[in-house]
Amino acid sequence: MSKRSVKQLAAVLIAAILVFICIATVAIHGGESDLTNLSPNAAPNPNSLNAFSLFGSGSGSTPLNKAAEPMMGAMKNETAKAELGRAAWRLLHTMAGKFPHKPSKDQQRAMNDFIYLFGQLYPCGDCARHFKIILDNNPPDVSSKAAVADWACRVHNIVNKRKEKPQFDCSKIMEFYDCGCGPEEET
């Protein structure tokens, strides 16, 4: 498989995960058109598909707090697996870098749920099982931008240690994963 094909595969896989998360988020809220006015205690629409029920987590207003069993099989192509890993870490660190400084409860729940679903749906089953163990021992801290960025760096370093790669200085994580999106808006 060519290097370009591997990069395209990684991009497609990450895009598919993001599309699934978007669809799941809409399903969680019962297809409501105005998601900004939803209360965390709002009654779910019984006629809508509830994404949390697909993952065994109860009602749509309950955040995921436990890593579910991964659903993907092994990924045999080491080059594709490495490229996917780099892309996945970049996505996770960039999301952390763009996360609000003072997130609302809904924003915290969304990031928390994304992390757990990301681990469950990650295309490399072996990697996902390792990530599940890490999540079980290091639950995400999504209380602020700094907290989630630090959490992501610490878990990345756990993986780096297992893979005998250098540890990253987490005090520099926000500089390293600058998304290039321009001046940051106060969130």
CATH topology of domain 3-176: Four Helix Bundle (Hemerythrin (Met), subunit A) (1.20.120)
Euclidean distance between CA atoms 119 and 65, whole angstroms: 12
Question: Model pTM?
Answer: 0.66
pLDDT reported for residue 126: 93
Amino acid at 58: G
Q: What is the dihedral of CA 90, 111, 169, 183, to 10 degrees?
A: 70
CB neighbours of 135 closer than 8 A, spacing ≥ 6?
67, 115, 116, 119, 155
Grouped pLDDT means (10 residues each) for the chain, 187 residues: 62 55 46 37 39 41 66 90 94 93 96 94 93 94 95 96 93 71 57
> What pLDDT does 43 receive?
44
